Amino acid sequence: MARRASALSGRPRCRAEGSKEGVLFGLWYGNRLKDSDRYLTHGTNKQIFYKIYHSVEDIDVRAIKRL
């Protein structure tokens, strides 16, 4: 099991959760993705990049696929 955990460390992983503002889509190690469109909010954390969706219309599938 330890091998599997170490194989995943440092690779982008995602999390989606509801918040007061909408749905948050976050990526641990998002800094390793090529976000040339600056689609994600980089915030103050150097590794976690995220996007908050206020409605379904806010989701840009093409931008997500480019990541």
Check residue 55 and give its pLDDT: 92
Nearest to 67 by CA among 22, 12, 15, 10: 12
Please enumerate in sequence order all residues whose Cβ is within 8 A of that of 61, keeping only pairs 6 or more positions apart, or say none.
none
| pLDDT greater than 90 at residue 36 | no
pLDDT tens digits for range 40-62: 998 787 888 999 999 999 999 99
